[in-house]
Structure 1
């Protein structure tokens, strides 16, 4: 079997196509949640904190150095923890929304009550023997 035919067989499997669809939908969903965080959640937090954007929060280790003309000679050295917080909030919201969607999906997709499995013939035969011995 040639490599091309093996590749065609691999692609034709349902799992690969399902995975590709899931990745594309997941990327689009991530953009939606990022827009929610950037457009609604973070401005609200910025309003509460006095108009400071969370992504601008930082701890300055070494301030920038300016020359006599006011031109920056050395850049500021800072730990930008605000960007980390914003990304963490993105992740938490994405995970929460996915949890809610999966929870609703699982409620809708409850499997039908499984009928009790038929008793195997050997067990039935053993029961008959037991019952006949009791007589």
Structure 2
């Protein structure tokens, strides 16, 4: 059982998958930084100086100081953070579209299929007709 597991883990597909997951995490951090630090400030500037990350609807105000006795945390719907997430999704989708498009262009064109020959029934009919003659 341990030997089978070792063979499974050391196959190329599992290692490729692990590398892909690690790279996806790194790309996710880069995209988050791009959205939060570059795109959203520009969008906020053109939206009248609004910082989307801080937009929220407060359901329950926070009471007291964090760590003190009787502290109650604020309860809010953070819809601005959700907008940041949507922008993040759109950027990741667009980048993935560009990557797939470039990959498809780099692949060689598929070879045209050879013309299909006669079917087995057609060959048998030809043999039958030749035998009749």
Q: TM-score, normalised by structure 1?
A: 0.74
Task: Quote the residue 1:82 is aligned against.
Answer: 80
Matched residue of 1:45: which SS? Answer: helix
Alpha-carbon distance between aligned partners in 2 of 1:75 and 1:121, rounded to the nearest angstrom: 76
> Structure 1 residue runs of 4+, over 6 Å off?
none
Partner of 2:12: 14
Unpaired segments ≥5 residues, structure 1: 67-72
- Unaligned ranges ≥5, structure 2: 65-70
Residue 53 of structure 1 deviates from its aligned partner by 1.1
Shift of 1:94: 0.8
CA offsets per residue over residues 35-94 of structure 1, 9 Å max, x none?
21012110011212232211100112344567xxxxxx7554321111111112112211
Q: Structure 1 residues 120, 57: CA separation in 2 closer, same or farther (over 3 Å shift)?
A: same
Aligned pairs (5 A) from 1:83-98:
83-98=81-96
* Structure 1 counterpart of 2:106: 108
TM-score normalised per structure 2: 0.75
Map residues 1-135 of structure 1 onto 2, 5 A cutoff: 3-64=1-62, 75-116=73-114, 119=117, 122=120, 125-126=123-124, 128-129=126-127, 132=130
RMSD: 3.0
Q: How many residues are aligned here?
A: 128
The CA distance in 2 between the partners of 1:75 and 1:11, in whole Å, is: 45
